[in-house]
């Protein structure tokens, strides 16, 4: 348990970032491997390396960049996290509170969480985009366990509207405008870094999961705790283990992500326009 994580700890990160910008970002966007290049389109941008932000975490996964990009996108003031943090990298769940709490202290009222995930629902195909309507996290501790910090939110809090229904409708409308056939479903968290076994995927399906991935859920919990609205979008980078008779590889995940990046980008920009 990391007792250093008090309100002032997070505030130090936020104050540093605020000292570098002259606007309040409205929307935080966490770029998963499916949206790596989106930040190129941000205008009037200010880039801050994670490693320069006091008390922030530093990204350890190669393909993720480790930068905060702040500026304008589709007429909105945004802060993009290019590079996110996962439990499998060795962080405690408690440390994974840092990004969302800092985004909240910057003034963000909403976060768009994106990720690449394995398709568990057999009616999905690789390359599909799924709007997350709910999540299941049965593995590991809550990121907000330990002494509650009331400046962020109450000890016990509701998770029944975590993926905001209004934003789900906005995303569906944006998908229509973008001429994208959009899916909707439940994101099931697995800690990784190993991909799942076929038996685990059958269990996840029986429990109600439509997609499986190693990120997003802690961010959604922390955002819900501090009252930020959440929209979640998953790119189906592969069919989950055991559905097809082929082993899963990172190459396949990255390839599909790359192939679908443009579609994802168009959708995201249309979502921002509708908000």
CB 106 within 8 A of CB 25: yes
At 231, list the tokens: 């929209």
Q: Does 240 bind ligand HPA (CB under 6 A)?
A: yes
DSSP 62-115: TTS--EEEEEEETTEEEEEEES---GGGT--TTGGGHHHHHHHHHT--EEEEEE
Q: Does 237 bind ligand HPA (CB under 6 A)?
A: yes
Q: Minimum distance between the CB of residue 65 and ligand HPA, rounded to whole angstroms?
A: 18
The DSSP element (H or E) to which 153 belongs, if any, is none
Q: Does 69 bind ligand HPA (CB under 6 A)?
A: no
Q: Minimum distance between the CB of residue 147 and ligand HPA, rounded to whole angstroms?
A: 32
| 7 known member of a binding site | no
Q: Does 253 bind ligand HPA (CB under 6 A)?
A: yes
Nearer to ligand HPA, 228 or 235 (CB): 235
SS3 61: coil
Q: Does 238 bind ligand HPA (CB under 6 A)?
A: yes
Does a cis peptide bond (omega within 30 degrees of 0) precede residue 34? Answer: no
Q: Does 270 bind ligand HPA (CB under 6 A)?
A: no
Nearer to ligand HPA, 162 or 237 (CB): 237
| 196 known member of a binding site | yes
Among 30, 103, 111, 117, which residue sits at the site for ligand HPA (rule: CB under 6 A)?
Answer: 117
| 64 known member of a binding site | yes
Q: CA-CA distance, 39 to 87, in Å (whole number)?
A: 24
Q: Does 121 bind ligand HPA (CB under 6 A)?
A: no
Nearer to ligand HPA, 132 or 214 (CB): 214
At 223, list the tokens: 């955002």
CB 63 within 8 A of CB 69: no
Q: Does 195 bind ligand HPA (CB under 6 A)?
A: yes
Name the residue with tokens 């995201």: 268
CB 46 within 8 A of CB 21: yes
Q: CA-CA distance, 198 to 24, in Å (whole number)?
A: 45
Nearer to ligand HPA, 190 or 272 (CB): 190
Among 17, 69, 113, 214, which residue sits at the site for ligand HPA (rule: CB under 6 A)?
Answer: 214
Name the residue with the smallest CB distance to ligand HPA.
118
Nearer to ligand HPA, 113 or 117 (CB): 117
Task: Please provide the distance, in angstroms rounded to a whole number, between the alpha carbons at the two ends of the chain.
Answer: 38
| 224 known member of a binding site | no
At 15, list the tokens: 């104050």
At 54, list the tokens: 């006091």
Nearer to ligand HPA, 34 or 69 (CB): 34
Q: Does 268 bind ligand HPA (CB under 6 A)?
A: no
| 104 known member of a binding site | no
SS3 124: coil
CA dihedral sign, ordered 153, 154, 159, 165: negative
| 84 known member of a binding site | yes
Q: Which residues are annotated as a binding site for a purine D-ribonucleoside?
A: 196, 238
Binding residues, by number, are 33, 64, 84-86, 116, 196, 215, 238
Name the site residues for ligand HPA (rule: CB under 6 A): 116-118, 190, 195-196, 212-214, 237-238, 240, 248, 253
């Amino acid at each position: 348990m990391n007792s250093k994580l008090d309100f002032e700890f997070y505030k130090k990160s936020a104050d540093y970032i605020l000292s570098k910008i002259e606007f309040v970002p409205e929307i935080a966007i966490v770029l998963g491997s499916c949206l790596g290049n989106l930040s190129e389109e941000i205008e009037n941008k200010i880039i801050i390396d994670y490693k320069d932000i006091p008390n922030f975490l530093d990204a350890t996964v190669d393909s993720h960049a480790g930068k905060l990009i702040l500026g304008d996108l589709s007429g909105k003031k945004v802060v993009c996290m290019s590079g996110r943090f996962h439990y499998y990298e060795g962080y405690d769940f408690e440390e994974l509170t840092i990004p969302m709490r800092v985004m909240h202290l910057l003034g963000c009222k909403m976060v768009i969480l994106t990720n690449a995930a394995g398709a568990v629902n057999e009616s999905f195909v690789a390359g599909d985009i799924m709007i997350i309507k709910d999540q299941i996290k049965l593995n590991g501790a809550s990121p907000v366990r330990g002494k509650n910090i009331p400046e962020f939110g109450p000890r016990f809090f509701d998770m029944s509207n975590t993926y905001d229904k209004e934003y789900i409708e906005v995303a569906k409308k944006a998908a229509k405008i973008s001429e994208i056939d959009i899916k909707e479903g439940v994101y099931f968290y697995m800690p990784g870094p190993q991909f799942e076994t076929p038996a685990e995927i059958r269990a996840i399906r029986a429990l109600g999961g439509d997609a499986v991935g190693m990120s997003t859920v802690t961010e959604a919990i922390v955002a819900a705790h501090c009252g930020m609205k959440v929209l979640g979008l998953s790119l189906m980078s592969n069919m989950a283990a055991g559905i097809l008779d082929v082993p899963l590889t990172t190459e396949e995940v990255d390839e599909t992500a790359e192939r679908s990046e443009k579609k994802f980008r168009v959708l995201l920009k249309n979502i921002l326009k509708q908000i």
